[in-house]
């Protein structure tokens, strides 16, 4: 098993996997009939570029479909070994990878979070749209503070995005990961931009964090509804009081 793991994480194998994943995602994009909602979202978001695109963990495979060809983009990709072929796939899809991970407490430096924030800020300053997961590893569908801090430091708005297909594989994983299949219907739902003021205090940042979390839940619920399904990762409904 250790030998297979080393082989699977070798550079040639990771490069081949990255190319295969990128080619497969192009096939999914070309063979699904996508609807975008709201239809005029680019007219409203376009003037605010570059933005910070927020997504949930496990929903990242197809988020590149929401990018316009003219939008330069960089994405935060885990420094974990499995992140390498994701980074290679993104490069084939025209998205630059920034290596680092969300983390909490003392693990931020270990995971490369501090350096990643600097790189993300530089990307936004240079006019690149930034794509990142709002939740941190192993804490599914709960927005972390990292994306809110990035919005505060950069002055750029957070835009929640969901991309869903009617035909897909849903994995039984902590992040409810899914990947689309060809020859179906698709939905791209984009939320309204969420701004975080440079002078935001902890209370305002918490309000923004909750706003991003609620909006991500809402765009995913709507995207799944548009393809006639229910979000398998949706939070349980609260019991009436």
Q: How confident is the model at residue 116 (pLDDT cuts 50, 70, 90)?
A: confident
What's the pLDDT at 32? Answer: 97
Ramachandran class of 74: left when φ > 0, alpha when ψ lies in -120 to 50, beta otherwise: beta
Residue 208's contacts (CB-CB under 8 Å, 6 or more residues apart) are 148, 151, 158, 194, 195, 196, 200
Mean pLDDT across the stretch 192-221? 97
Name the burial class of residue 83, with classes exposed (0-12), middle (13-18) and buried (19+) by CB atoms within 10 angstroms of its CB.
Answer: middle
* Helix (H/G/I), strand (E/B), else coil: 167: coil
Residues paired with 131 in a beta bridge: 53, 75
Strands 52-55 and 95-99: unpaired
Cβ pair 156, 51 in contact under 8 A: yes
What's the pLDDT at 228? Answer: 95
Q: How far apart are the first and last CA of the chain?
A: 51
Q: Among the ranges 51-60, 92-101, 119-128, which has the highest mean pLDDT value?
A: 119-128
- Nearest 5°: the CA angle 75, 80, 84 is 60
Rounded to whole angstroms, how far apart are CA atoms 70 and 59? 23
- Per-residue pLDDT tens for 19-36? 999 999 999 999 999 999
Q: Of 184, 152, 167, 188, which is closest to residue 36 (Cα–Cα)?
A: 188
What's the pLDDT at 34? Answer: 97
What's the pLDDT at 194? Answer: 98
User: 159 pLDDT exceeds 80?
Assistant: yes
Is it true that the peptide bond before 50 is cis, omega within 30 degrees of 0? yes
Residue 22's contacts (CB-CB under 8 Å, 6 or more residues apart) are 88, 89, 90, 92, 93
Q: Of 92, 108, 91, which is closest to residue 100 (Cα–Cα)?
A: 108
Record the tokens describing residue 165, joined without a space. 């297909």
Q: Is the pTM of this model over 0.85?
A: yes
Largest alpha-carbon pair distance within the chain? 56
- What is the overall mean pLDDT for the chain? 88
Record the tokens describing residue 131, joined without a space. 């794509």
Q: Distance from CA of residue 53 to its chain's centroid? A: 7
Q: How confident is the model at residue 56 (pLDDT cuts 50, 70, 90)?
A: very high
Q: How confident is the model at residue 108 (pLDDT cuts 50, 70, 90)?
A: very low
Q: How confident is the model at residue 160 (pLDDT cuts 50, 70, 90)?
A: very high
Record the tokens describing residue 108, joined without a space. 């931020």
Q: Which of 50-54, 63-67, 104-108 is predicted with the least confidence, judged by mean pLDDT?
A: 104-108
What's the pLDDT at 2? Answer: 60
What residues does each domain of the chain span? 11-23+33-226
């Amino acid at each position: 098993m250790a030998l297979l793991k080393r082989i699977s994480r070798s550079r040639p194998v990771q490069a081949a996997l990255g190319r295969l994943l990128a080619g497969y995602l192009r096939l999914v994009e070309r063979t699904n009939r996508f609807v975008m909602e709201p239809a005029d979202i680019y007219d409203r978001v376009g003037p605010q570029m570059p933005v910070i695109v927020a997504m949930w963990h496990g929903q990242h495979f197809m988020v590149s479909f929401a990018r316009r060809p003219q939008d330069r983009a960089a994405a935060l990709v885990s420094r974990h070994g499995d992140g390498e072929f994701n980074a290679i796939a993104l490069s084939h899809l025209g998205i630059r990878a920034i290596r680092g991970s969300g983390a909490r407490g003392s693990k931020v430096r270990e995971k490369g979070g501090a350096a990643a924030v600097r790189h993300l800020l530089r990307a936004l300053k240079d006019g690149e749209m930034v794509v990142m997961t709002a939740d941190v590893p192993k804490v599914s569908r709960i927005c972390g503070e990292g994306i809110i801090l990035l919005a505060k430091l950069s002055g750029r708005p957070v835009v929640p995005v969901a991309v869903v297909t009617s035909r897909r594989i849903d994995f039984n994983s902590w992040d409810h990961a899914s990947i689309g299949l060809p020859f179906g219907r698709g939905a791209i739902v984009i939320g309204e931009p969420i701004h975080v003021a440079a002078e935001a205090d902890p209370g305002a940042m918490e309000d923004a964090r909750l706003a991003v979390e609620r909006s991500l839940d809402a765009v995913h619920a709507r995207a799944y509804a548009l393809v006639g399904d229910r979000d398998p990762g949706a939070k349980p409904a609260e019991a009436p009081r």
